[in-house]
Amino acid sequence: MSQAHLTKLFTSIGLVLLIVVLNSWLATQGAKAILKIPLLHEERRATAFLALVVGSVMLIVTALVGWLHAKRYGEHWHARVPSVWLDGLSTQSIEGRLYQGVILLLFIGLPLASFYHFIGLVWNGHLCALNSPDQPLPVSAAWFNGIPNATDQIRLVDGLTAVQQPNNVVKELCEGGIEVFPGWEFILLALFIAAALVASMAFLYTVIIPPVSACKTHASEAVGNN
């Protein structure tokens, strides 16, 4: 892929990632969705879980595209960061370097910070069996083994839902949230988050530390000029 291709990919995927994590972060704080973009889910724990799933995959792709760009192009750190939106940006200027730093913060730093917030929400959430009146179990205690003897879906919830029965009696049942699969799904999510962190650190490292190939190319050009 050319530099233009990598820049377009980094921009498009990174922008969607930014919208997803920012929208979900605001929603879990009780704020309304930005730009009238629908939420992944209405409940806080479910929103955080889905944001981790979608966000980690998108951050992996964004960081890997950025890593390829940083590895192939740019003599200085600010030139190794893809120029988002601004074609022909002079990254050597003070405002250009500041702009590139903000892009790193928005496309890499903010998603990673949001993951920390989302993980805390999910970890402090609860698991319950669908339509069961039993008290939910904390995710921190049941994320691997799930709910013993559960005969229906296991759901990640904020809490039980008050449901009015045909006899007008109100019962608290497990009806909200989203279906999850304790054990393998939580482990898989943890692996995706870890991969997103590794990819992000690799990208940032390559931005800060010049790749060996880039150093050799710069040295060759310097010798040729002399």
What's the average pLDDT block by block, 10 residues per block, for the chain (226 residues)?
92 94 87 61 86 96 96 91 86 91 96 96 92 87 90 87 66 82 96 98 93 52 43
pLDDT digits (tens, 9 = 90+) for 146-197: 998 888 899 999 877 666 666 666 667 788 889 999 999 999 999 999 999 9
Using the structure block, give the residue that is written with the tokens 């449901």: 163
Contacts of 22 (CB under 8 A, 6+ apart): 34, 110, 114
What is the SS3 string spanning 174-208? CCCCEECCCCHHHHHHHHHHHHHHHHHHHHHHHHH
The closest of 20, 102, 121 to 61, measured between CA atoms, is 20
Using the structure block, give the residue that is written with the tokens 């970890």: 123
Q: Which two tokens stand for residue 83?
A: 């120029």
Please classify residue 37 by burial: count the beta carbons closer than 10 Å to its beta carbon, then call 0-12 exposed, 13-18 middle and 19+ buried.
exposed
Residue 42 pLDDT: 75
Residue 102 pLDDT: 95
| C-beta separation of 138 from 120 below 8 A | no
Backbone angles phi, psi at 71, to 5 degrees: -75, -30
154-157 and 137-138 beta bridge pairing: unpaired
Residue 37 pLDDT: 59
Determine the Cα–Cα distance for residues 113 and 222; give it in Å rounded to an integer: 41
Count other Cβ atoms within 10 Å, centred on residue 152: 13
